[in-house]
Chains A and B, each alone.
Chain A
Amino acid sequence: MLILRQLRKLNGQQRLQLGVEQTRRSMADAAQKNASFQYDKDPQPLFTDAETQRLLQSMTQLQLEKVFRKRTVPDNSTETKFMTTAQLEKEFLQTIEKAKKLLQMPPVVQIKQDTEHIISKDPALKDFADTKYVFTDITFGLRNSERKIVVRDADGTLAYAPLETRKRMNQLYFPLEGRRSYTPRMFTHDDLLQRCLDEHKYEFVLDRLTVQYEPYEAEFHNFSAKVFAHLNESKEFDLLRSTRHFGPMAFFYAWHRCIDDLLYDMIRRDYLHNAVELISLSYKIHQVPVDYKPILSQLEALKPTPAQRALAELLSCLKKPAENAIEHEIQTAIGKTEQDFAADEISLKFIEQYIGSKHALKKVQLELAVQTLKEVNLEKLQLYQGLKKAHGVQAS
């Protein structure tokens, strides 16, 4: 009996130790993950680069019904007007501009380090008051970043305020709409954030994050990394497509070498030119010696930019049936034009090259996706040619 009890006790201890070991290991893993999700050098020059921006914007796409969808705001009212065709065309152009503005990406920049900058040290002022004083310059017309905010400590030191105090004072005297003076519970309680993520409210979290924090703050980086990591596991990338957060997300994955899931999603949804852009972006960031520029320029010639595509979509309701109406109808029925087929061929070649290289991690999955897409494309092409022949449209 005694021996048995002793044995049980020993076993229990062992189990406890094992448990501790496991939790320690998992924590270490998590810490490692977090550490690896930091930008190791300043990503800003690469992110604001004109070519990168163009790639990211093209990947984001511009789906008007998603950009101008109903939001949870007090006023979702619409206005109905009579207009001439010229006025309508002008209105369409303005709409595209507005959509572009709504899709502006929050910048990806390095975390700003707090530096101490002492203006004067006066030991004779020690104990002049029992608390410190914070002075904010409220001169009219200054930007938040260039406003002078200084702190006089109780020991008489006058110094520029640390970033945290700066933010607090700016918010106090010049409040930003939507930003809270206290941290929203979503960002203080892990379980609440986790619940939002599990319900796939990625855009909500990212929008709130963008309002609440500045892009150079550590919290901004940590929370967005968390959201993107969760998104990479749930693979609901389409929720962010055509929102302002898609670009930074793609940049994040490209930077941290985990583009494969996003790539798979793009191939599956038949956004092959986006897949090529994503691969090129990753090559560009990691300076892989693959010449992607000629392929990008070829694709650019074949594919319209998102803005052009959206504008064409808007203008299509104005157009009168032209002489090549049947060809147009065939194209809309199949969803692809001859140019699209040509572009797909170029992109598929590039993507297969990527899958064959050592940079791809989920090769089997990607290969399968490419294979199915190829088959579907082939079917479509045959159907397209057949329809054209049947209608007697001149093959070009």
Chain B
Amino acid sequence: MSLSPASGIGRFYKHSAKIIRFVRLGCTNRPFYHIVVMERRKNQHQPVIEQVGSYDPLPNTSNERLVALNTERIRYWLGKGAHMSEPAAELLGIAGLLPVHPRTYMTAWRNRRAAAAATAGAATETTEKVATA
């Protein structure tokens, strides 16, 4: 699949619904996303109106996930009334560009609960072991 320029080659209607969303590129077992603006009704692999960033979900050697955002264009499209897909909205929330998405808080809370449960489980296991011994 050939890459289209960041300014996009997608055709769109003036009043159609636009959306800021991810496009999954990369390959099997190696996801890589472009953050793009496109018509809402279209399939992700159809030509986009504009690419406004990229997101690499796999941590790099310094253990960080890299996101590039063209904030100027994102703000422009949001001002034009573009929608956002949920993962894109979460990412923009984490970036501090928008208020943090409620789902991020939910994930954080669930992760903390899972971690607490895991430590509690480990603690009870050790006490049981001590009791049997």
Q: Which residues of A contact B (CB under 8 A)?
A: 119-120, 122, 124-129, 131-140, 148, 150-152, 156, 158, 165, 168-169, 172-173
Contacts and interface: CB of A to CB of B under 8 A. Distances in A.
A23 B33 CA distance: 55
Given A128-B108, A132-B65, A135-B67, A158 B115 contact: no
Contacts of B59: 131
A139 B100 CA distance: 22
A315 B12 CA distance: 63
A126 to B, nearest CB: 6
B84 interface: no
Contact of A138 (B53, B62, B63): B53
Given A133-B65, A139-B72, A140-B72, A152 B95 contact: yes
A165 to B, nearest CB: 8
Contacts of A126: 108, 112
A138 B69 contact: yes
B94 A140 contact: no
B70 interface: yes
Nearest to A124: B105
18 contacts: A120-B96, A127-B111, A128-B111, A132-B63, A132-B64, A133-B67, A133-B94, A133-B95, A136-B67, A137-B71, A138-B69, A148-B71, A150-B95, A150-B96, A152-B94, A158-B96, A172-B66, A173-B68
Nearest to A156: B108
A129 B108 CA distance: 7
Interface string B61-83: 01111111111110000000000
Residues of B in contact with A, size category: 20 to 34
Contacts of B112: 126-127
Contact of B115 (A120, A124, A127, A132): A127
Interface in B9-26: none
Contacts of B63: 131-132
A165 B66 CA distance: 11
A148 B66 CA distance: 14
Contacts of A156: 108
A137 B111 contact: no
Contacts of A127: 108, 111-112, 115
A134 B64 contact: yes
A31 to B, nearest CB: 30
Task: Sort A-B residue pairs by CB-CB distance and give the 4 closest, nearest first.
Answer: A128-B108, A127-B111, A139-B72, A135-B95
Contacts of A169: 66
A163 to B, nearest CB: 14
A217 to B, nearest CB: 18
B104 interface: yes
Interface of B: 53, 59, 62-73, 94-96, 100, 104-105, 107-109, 111-112, 115
Contacts of B69: 135-138
A139 B70 CA distance: 5
Contacts of B67: 133-136
B70 A138 contact: yes
B96 A125 contact: no
A138 B104 contact: no
B47 to A, nearest CB: 21
Contacts of A128: 94, 104-105, 107-108, 111
A173 B95 CA distance: 17
A137 B112 CA distance: 30
B96 A119 contact: yes
Contacts of A137: 69-71
A127 B71 CA distance: 26
Given A125-B105, A128-B104, A152-B94, A138 B111 contact: no
Nearest to B94: A152
A129 B90 CA distance: 12
A94 to B, nearest CB: 36
Contacts of A132: 63-65
Nearest to A134: B64
Given A134-B66, A150-B96, A152-B95, A139 B108 contact: no
B48 to A, nearest CB: 16
Contacts of A173: 68
B71 to A, nearest CB: 5
A151 B63 CA distance: 12
Contacts of B70: 137-140
Given A125-B105, A128-B104, A131-B63, 16 more contacts: A124-B105, A126-B112, A128-B108, A128-B111, A131-B64, A133-B64, A134-B64, A135-B67, A135-B69, A135-B96, A136-B67, A136-B68, A137-B70, A138-B70, A139-B73, A152-B94
